Each structure stands twice: as structure tokens, then as C-alpha cells.
Amino acid sequence: MQILWENTEADLVKAELDVYWLKHGKDDPAAYIRQLGRRVELVHLKDMAAGPEQKFAPVGTGILDFAGIFAASKEVGAKWGIVEQDDCYTTPPMEALRVSFEQLQGR
């Protein structure tokens, strides 16, 4: 990805980042958002449950630093945050969505 960012114009090539996968790949999502700056227009809001399995979790219930992610997103002018959860496991999807929605209230 770094090759892409270094060899394209920021006005022409934008980023749609997934904070879960950044964390899974050992990156700090907030730092990565700041690094890309105004390229970041869309941020996938997805959380990671504690533990070695790194399961998906409703936003705000896992280990990701959403205060830092939101601050970085605001600093760079990201336009949208998109709640996403690839797998809800045994939790009904609408319940997972409700929890994410409640966690995001007032942010």
C-alpha cells in the first residue's frame, strides 16, 4: 500500500480504511489515518474482541481505541464512518448493530 500512496496524487487517489484490518495487521489505526491525511474519506468502524482469536466485535466493545480513531478521522476530514462487522458469530446481526449504534451515540 505504501508504494501506492507514494506514487499517486492525494487529490486523485483516496483511501477507504478498515480499522479492524489495520489493527490485525499490527498497524495503529489512528496513526495510519493521520499518515494518509486528507486521502482518508471513509473509515470502516469495526472492533476486535480481546483474545488471540481476534474475533470481530460490535464497535466499542473490543480493544480498538475508538477515541483515537475518531480524533484522527476528524483531524483529516474523513467524511463517513461505516459500521461493519464481518461475522456476528452467535449474536443476531441486528443485536450487534444495536450495540454498535449505542456505543457510537454522542461520539
pLDDT in tens, 49-89: 999 999 999 999 999 999 999 999 999 999 999 999 999 99
Q: How far apart are CA 83 and CA 56, in angstroms?
A: 12
Could you read off the pLDDT of 86-107 as tens digits, one per residue? 999 999 999 999 999 999 997 7
Exposed e or buried b per residue across 60-87, where buried means at least 16 C-beta atoms within 10 angstroms of its C-beta: bbbebebebbbebbeebebeebebebee
Average pLDDT, the chain: 96
Res. 47: pLDDT tops 80: yes
